[in-house]
Amino acid sequence: MPIPSLKKIAFIGNYPPRKCGIATFTHDLHGAVAKSTSAQCFVIAINNIVEGYDYGKEVQVRIVEQELDDYLTSADYLNFNNIDVVSLQHEFGIYGGPSGSHILALLRDLKMPVVTTLHTVLSNPSSLQRSIMTELITLSTRLIVMTERSRKTLISTYGVPSDQIDLIAHGIPDVPDTPQQVLKEQFNVQGKQVALTFGLLSPGKGIEFVLRAIPEIVKQFPDFIYLILGATHPTLIREQGERYRISLERLAIELGIEKHVSFYNRFVSLEELTEFIGAADLYITPYLNEEQAVSGTLAYAFGCGQAVISTPYWHAQELLGEGRGVLVPFGDSGAIGREITGLLHDDVRRNAMRHQAYQLGREMTWDRVSQTYLASFLQSREQRRLEGNTWGVRTLESQPLALPNLQLEHLKNLSDSTGIVQHAIYSVPDHTHGYCTDDNARALILAVHLEESGYDPEIVNSLASRYAAFTNGAYNESTGRFRNFMSFDRRWLEEGGSEDAQGRALWAIGTCVGRSRRSGLAAWALGLFPRALRACESTESPRTWAFAILGIHEYLRRYSGDRYALELSQSFTDRLLRLYQDTAKDSWPWFEAEATYENARLPQALITHGRWTGNTQAMNVGIQTLRWLCDHQRSPQKRFRPIGSNGFSREGEEAAKFDQQPIEAHGMVSAAIEAYSASGDRFWNDQAHLAFDWFLGRNDIGQPVYDASTGGCFDGLMENKLNENQGAESTLAFLLSLVAMRTLNTTIRTTSSMHDLP
């Protein structure tokens, strides 16, 4: 039976005007395939910024990088529009979730074949990367790689059958062989020797090693010019600004070569790029990462007929082997300089390389490459037809429940240049009561988790800096304690705050150390953490011990060898266990004679410590007491009913039903997620959802406790009505719970073997 022709092809990946190599590749591949077939070709583009991009009409669907629901919705779109084949561009850093795991949720639901182009193939992946890669391979009908080394790595490292892999070169534009002198005159470099490096700038490009070679080069070629073409990588701009480019410029001045170096700080069009390549005498890729599987810039320069000097990363080893180019050791300025001068002296050799590269490049043009891609697409279609369609309908039982959108409007309203204010009158910030460390510590934890989830860096960094500054100012060096309350006119109202404030501050600081990728924030927290920790040692509050344990284990994520921190975690754990042994009985298996506030934090701390240290006693007591607390906080309607603050709960007495506080729901959400992470028992997933649903209206009065339009949260559930003030504690409790639940859902939907939730 003949293979039916393709009618609809979807391409998934980054896309212009987003500025990155994969965006350019997706654009060029889509355009080439669209010219080579009558099939309808369109793009699903990944947005890494909240506002997105101004795409062309070929982009029919947009996925917000960190929004898991967008991936599932896109899968439905592809299925219901009867797409014949999906062409996926894959690299770990371009999709949302841990190591890009969100894309698996989309692929699992597709009923058509997937042909995945692997832009990176790691020979030594982390356990998470290996897990993701293994499932990606399983979900892909065919795999495309661009180098023989990548093909061999797939076979040897991941056990991929060779007949599942297609080796297709990186496509290049088919450009005319314009005389070099014409192009040199266009750029006003006639009579000069020109070397070129282009692409998005980042420290791994190794350009500094070329700069250090130039003083020796200009002794032989006084008219030598090194052109560095390309804007700084947008991600690097957001995180570090132009630090790398500035360092290169300063290095050039220190070396006295400023007359021989030219920076073009922009993302050029394809036409401009080919003209720059044609004007150069040779091209240099001094990259520092050997495992770079493919370089689009190298492919373009080579295919356009350029003599190339490169470090021996994998793609360069293959493309430039057998004399097709020159390979130099990584980070060796001397070798770079010798090879540049050698090629510039030897016109015959250099021109022979250029001619050979141009001839071989005719096999790499996009019109040729698109034909091999279409052959792979057709083969995948036939394979899927023979295998049969395994796609099915997702039932509610098989997928996590939907969650509200993340809104920070009310959080931003409560936050000013000092920090977050404590209270609100309805949704209006109430400045009368000023600020407290408790709330700013909670807000700082939220900001770090938002950073970790990929939320808008500009907003998150601004908020995190304010909360960190407040926490830093709250620390009293003379006492080692954190003050808690500050008036609105910025006067501290005490010299030392509560023990709980001490524990919460330590938790926030530990979270900054263990999770933040902002080097300045993490360094500040690292300096303060040991001082704050010492003051916790003499505290007597069980909740402070619990907060400290949670903060210590956040800190140990990055500094696992700190024995003092680990010893204190064990000490606080032992104290909680002694409380339990002294108080607990069959009818009241709890740590104290009364269950009061933030109750779930006590078992959560024991589970956390037990999980990370292998302390089975702590783990068992934590799980046992948390399960009792779940039963104790359940209404006859099987809904979550936190112990009310109007009386709390004592053995033999009915627990207070009201006022129900949002921090109790948040505590149970966090503790249940920790229990699920430690045990994998779906019971705890259900308990986390049950507690979170309290915010959504599954509570004793059947009303939502959160404000969907602003992300605010009411201050409590009273008998027959809500406390409609939206203060910091309640709003943060809801937002922290929402972020945790989104992480839980992501884990369940993607890599179910991961048990590393906040």
Which residue, 551, 554, 609, is CA-closest to 576?
A: 609
How far is the C-alpha of 444 from the C-alpha of 508, rounded, in Å? 6
The region of weakest confidence among 41-55, 166-180, 233-247, 354-368 is: 233-247
The region of weakest confidence among 40-54, 129-143, 396-410 is: 396-410
Based on the structure, what is the number of domains in the chain? 3
> What's the pLDDT at 743?
86
> How high is the mean pLDDT of the chain?
91
Q: Which of 344, 375, 398 is the last residue of a domain?
A: 398
Which residue, 593, 589, 623, is CA-closest to 606?
A: 623
pLDDT of 371 higher than 60 = yes
> Does some domain include residue 648?
yes
Q: How would residue 693 be classed by pLDDT, with cut points 50, 70 and 90?
A: very high
* CATH code of residue 599: 1.50.10.20
pLDDT of 632 higher than 70 = yes
> Does some domain include residue 510?
no
Q: Are residues 559 and 616 in the same domain?
A: yes
> Does some domain include residue 17?
yes
Residue-wise pLDDT for 77-92, tens only, equals 999 999 999 999 999 8
> Does some domain include residue 476?
no
pLDDT of 342 higher than 80 = yes
Q: Are residues 166 and 241 in the same domain?
A: no
> What's the pLDDT at 372?
96
> Does some domain include residue 482?
no
- Mean pLDDT calculated for residue range 353-369: 88
The region of weakest confidence among 37-46, 264-273, 322-331, 699-708 is: 264-273
Q: Are residues 186 and 294 in the same domain?
A: yes
Q: Are residues 336 and 292 in the same domain?
A: yes
- Mean pLDDT calculated for residue range 500-520: 96
> Does some domain include residue 418?
yes
> What's the pLDDT at 389?
54
The CA-CA-CA angle for residues 393, 394, 398, to 5°, reads: 145
How far is the C-alpha of 187 from the C-alpha of 171, rounded, in Å? 26
Q: How would residue 604 be classed by pLDDT, with cut points 50, 70 and 90?
A: very high
- Mean pLDDT calculated for residue range 103-122: 93
> What's the pLDDT at 113?
96
> What's the pLDDT at 751?
43
CB atoms within 10 A of CB 499: 22
> Does some domain include residue 643?
yes
The number of C-alpha atoms within 13 Å of 690 and in the hemisphere containing its C-beta is 21
- Mean pLDDT calculated for residue range 215-240: 86
How far is the C-alpha of 34 from the C-alpha of 56, rounded, in Å? 14
> What's the pLDDT at 174?
79
Tokens standing for residue 733? 């409790």
Nearby residues of 730 by Cβ (< 8 Å), 6 or more positions away: 661, 662, 663, 705, 713, 714, 715, 716
Domain that holds residue 201: 180-363
Beta-bridge partner residues of 421:
435
pLDDT of 13 higher than 90 = yes
- Provide the whole-model pTM: 0.69
Q: Are residues 580 and 716 in the same domain?
A: yes
Q: Is 399 exposed, middle or buried (0-12, 13-18, 19+ CB in 10 A)?
A: middle
Tokens standing for residue 143? 């795999």
Q: Are residues 254 and 336 in the same domain?
A: yes
CB atoms within 10 A of CB 214: 24
Q: Which of 363, 387, 419 is the last residue of a domain?
A: 363
The region of weakest confidence among 78-92, 170-184, 405-419, 424-438 is: 170-184
Amino acid in the structure at residue 740: A
Considering only residues 494 and 237, tell me which one the structure prediction assigns the higher pLDDT: 494
Q: Are residues 112 and 260 in the same domain?
A: no
> What's the pLDDT at 584?
96
Q: How would residue 230 be classed by pLDDT, with cut points 50, 70 and 90?
A: confident
Tokens standing for residue 190? 């006639």
> What's the pLDDT at 282?
93
Q: Are residues 279 and 235 in the same domain?
A: yes
The region of weakest confidence among 30-34, 138-142, 199-203, 669-673 is: 199-203
> What is each CA distance from 634 to 536, 611, 629, 643, 681, in whole angstroms?
33, 26, 9, 9, 19
Q: Are residues 683 and 604 in the same domain?
A: yes
Helices (H) and strands (E) in the chain, counts: 28, 22
Which residue, 414, 426, 410, 428, is CA-closest to 724?
A: 426
Q: Are residues 188 and 164 in the same domain?
A: no
Sign of CA dihedral 209, 215, 216, 222: positive
The share of the chain scoring above pLDDT 90, in percent, equals 71
Contact present, 676 and 757 (Cβ < 8 Å): yes
> What's the pLDDT at 396?
46
Which residue, 325, 332, 385, 281, is CA-closest to 3?
A: 385
How far is the C-alpha of 457 from the C-alpha of 461, rounded, in Å? 6
Q: Are residues 573 and 681 in the same domain?
A: yes
The region of weakest confidence among 303-312, 489-498, 653-662, 746-755 is: 746-755
Query: What is the enclosing helix (H) or strand (E) of 44?
Result: strand 40-47
> Does some domain include residue 73?
yes
Sign of CA dihedral 147, 153, 155, 160: negative
> What's the pLDDT at 2?
44
What are φ and ψ of residue 43, in 5° steps?
-125, 140
- Strand boundaries in 384-439, DSSP class E: 421-425, 428-436
- DSSP class of 204: G
Considering only residues 297 and 226, tell me which one the structure prediction assigns the higher pLDDT: 226
* CATH code of residue 135: 3.40.50.2000
- Mean pLDDT calculated for residue range 250-270: 88
Sign of CA dihedral 355, 361, 362, 365: negative
Q: Are residues 238 and 342 in the same domain?
A: yes
- What burial letters (b/e) apply to 49-82, b meaning 16+ CB within 10 Å? eeeebebeebbebbbbbbbbbbbbebbeebeeee
Contact present, 86 and 10 (Cβ < 8 Å): yes
Q: Is-cis flag, bond preceding 659, omega within 30?
A: yes
pLDDT of 133 higher than 60 = yes
